[in-house]
Amino acid sequence: MAKIAFIGLGNMGAPMEVNLLKAGHKVCVFDLMPDMVKNLVSQGASTAASAKAAVAGKDFVISMLPAGQHVESVYLGNGDDSGDGSGDGSGDDSGDSNSGVLSVLDKNTVVIDSSTIDVATAQKVATKANEMGISMMDCPVSGGVAAASAGTLSFMCGGSEAVFDQVKVVLASMGKNIFHAGLHGAGQVAKMCNNMLLSIHMIGTAEALKLGVDNGLDPSVLSEIMLASSGRNWSLEVYNPYPGVMKESPASNDYRPGFMVNLMCKDLGLAMEAAQASNSATPLGALAQKLYLDHANEGHGEKDFSSILNSLV
């Protein structure tokens, strides 16, 4: 069993870490917000006063952080990893100071970043790691909090074939579909394409359900019909956006996240930037981005992304 440091224990990181413990790995956790790790320590994790202290002597480091600037500041430096909860980890340096976690890692430690971030930052941090003789892979995930808890996430990995073979064993404790998408950054490309599509079918699903209800249908009956028809999709199948249709879904729990509107806006921003750079036509992606940004600006940024249904008035 492996010795692992896990950095970033939020909505996704915490249940992923619990599955590592269940699989018998020894895990040391660190989050800027001390409250995030209390529950995990009671389940068998150890903790450290800083990210640098957490990674000492580990076989793997796994991070699950909000965005590119957090990943860069943790690995390359100038992040506040003191563990006193006073910083937001969003260091604005170029990363050149190299005072981050990479600077203290053993050469045989393998780094797995599962955060959803921009391709350029993923490549920059991995290149720095490689220059220092450290193996790294971008391994963003799909499946949401339910799959993180159930250990059924999909991982999309970017990096060398040799490192992919090393990380597969650990990822298998947290997920059931593990894909090698290509070289550094390829996991993030796959993830941004997937999430653009997710935003589009979530909005479409919400629209269809609202239209049905406005025309006298019961949302549960309509959901059942569409699930057995050509409108079937993941949002309808496991994440119904209409309150009361699925007991455990964020929609039935005051749209508590789950996956925040703000994070979907971030992901759509990444997809639209990439589309512009590659000159790819993404008219529905652009519209989805506008609808989600409007929704966030109306004060729903911290709600689950399925709350987009409430913007359809």
Please give, one letter per residue, the 3-state secondary structure of the chain.
Answer: CCEEEEECCCCCHHHHHHHHHHCCCEEEEECCCCHHHHHHHCCCCEECCCHHHHHCCCCEEEECCCCHHHHHHHHHCCCCCCCCCCCCCCCCCCCCCCCCHHHHCCCCCEEEECCCCCHHHHHHHHHHHHHCCCEEEECCEECHHHHHHHCCEEEEEECCHHHHHHHHHHHCCCEEEEEEEECCCHHHHHHHHHHHHHHHHHHHHHHHHHHHHHCCCCHHHHHHHHHCCCCCCHHHHHCCCCCCCCCCCHHHHCCCCCCEHHHHHHHHHHHHHHHHHHCCCCHHHHHHHHHHHHHHHHHHCCCEHHHHHHHCC
259 binds ligand NAD (CB under 6 A): yes
Q: How many CB atoms neighbour CB 50 within 10 A?
A: 17
- The residue nearest ligand NAD at its CB is 10
Pick the piece of the chain touching ligand NAD (CB under 6 A) from 9-17, 179-187, 218-226, 275-283: 9-17
138 binds ligand NAD (CB under 6 A): no
Decide if residue 70 touches ligand NAD (CB under 6 A). Answer: yes
Stretch that binds ligand NAD, among 31-39, 122-130, 182-190, 212-220 (CB under 6 A): 31-39
Taking CB under 6 A as the rule, does residue 18 contact ligand NAD? no
Residue 167 near ligand NAD by CB under 6 A: no
119 near ligand NAD, judged by CB under 6 A: no
Please identify which residue in 5, 20, 48, 66 interacts with ligand NAD, judged by CB under 6 A.
66
Please, what's the b/e burial string for 144-171 (b: 16 or more CB within 10 A of its CB; e: otherwise)? bbbbbbebebbbbbbbbeebbebbeebb
Q: Which of 79, 95, 187, 219 binds ligand NAD (CB under 6 A)?
A: 79
Nearest residue to 206 (alpha-carbon basis) of 172, 248, 251, 175: 251
Q: Exactly one of 54, 64, 76, 134 binds ligand NAD (CB under 6 A); which one? A: 64
**Do the beta carbons of residue 185 and residue 123 sit within 8 Å?**
yes
Size of residue set near ligand NAD by CB under 6 A: 30
Among 6, 19, 31, 171, binds ligand NAD (CB under 6 A): 31
| Residue 33: other Cβ atoms inside 10 A | 13
Report, in Å, the least distance between residue 143 CB and ligand NAD: 7
18, 48, 51, 111: residue in contact with ligand NAD (rule CB under 6 A): 51
Residues 197 and 190: their CA atoms lie apart, in Å, by: 11
Which residue in the set 29, 74, 136, 192 belongs to the binding site for ligand NAD (CB under 6 A)?
74
Report the nearest approach of ligand NAD to the CB of residue 97 (Å): 15
Q: Does 52 bind ligand NAD (CB under 6 A)?
A: no
Taking CB under 6 A as the rule, does residue 33 contact ligand NAD? Answer: yes
Q: Of 1-9, 100-108, 206-214, 234-242, which segment contacts ligand NAD by CB under 6 A? A: 1-9
118 binds ligand NAD (CB under 6 A): no
Query: Catalytic annotation on 22?
Result: no
13 lines the binding site for ligand NAD (CB under 6 A): yes
Binding positions for ligand NAD, 184-243, rule CB under 6 A: none
Say whether residue 144 binds ligand NAD (CB under 6 A): yes
Residues acting as catalytic residues: 191
Residues that bind ligand NAD (CB under 6 A): 7-13, 30-33, 36, 51, 64-66, 70, 73-74, 79, 81, 89, 115-116, 141, 144-145, 258-259, 263
